[in-house]
Structure 1
Amino acid sequence: MPATAEGAGREVRSDAGHRSRRYVLGQEKRGNQEAIGAAPLSDVHLHALTEDDLLTWRNVLPEELKDTTKQRLTNDLKAALNAT
């Protein structure tokens, strides 16, 4: 069951959803944030996905991201892949 914002009565999306949309699936311009194109990884069919594809994706993440953020993104992606 999705979490709700306290007192607001609306669903709250997880941080993992926001991060995957931003760094894997791409994102349209939002407020002051520029649009971000989808990562090349999103074009790879699941059955054709290789470790090299995943390493390449991780290596092209923005340099300004902290290592802990990159690890969190990697963990989120691994969880999504394992769920399929």
Structure 2
Amino acid sequence: MPLFNEASRIYKPEEVTFMRSCFSHAAIILEESDREYAATDLSTAIIMLYQNGLRDLNYIAELASRLAHKRYQDRHAETPATGGSCRDRV
């Protein structure tokens, strides 16, 4: 679980444990709802929410799971069709 970056701030052990619990809970939410995500997006969202003052595990997990899934969808979105098929362009 990618919750550390050498350039980031140093967290207390209890903060790391809390964020890991958030990550695990959010991953379960995503897996049970069959939504795709990237672990880095999920951990980034958790850290961002934590740094902005949120401390409720369930709330962080829910928001982070939504953000991670949205980022995954945006990154893997199919490009819109420009009209016509490939044969029409030949």
| TM-score clears 0.5 | no
- Using the size of structure 1 for normalisation, the TM-score is 0.28
Decide which structure has the larger Cα Rg and report it: 2
- In terms of fraction of residues, the more helix-rich structure is 2
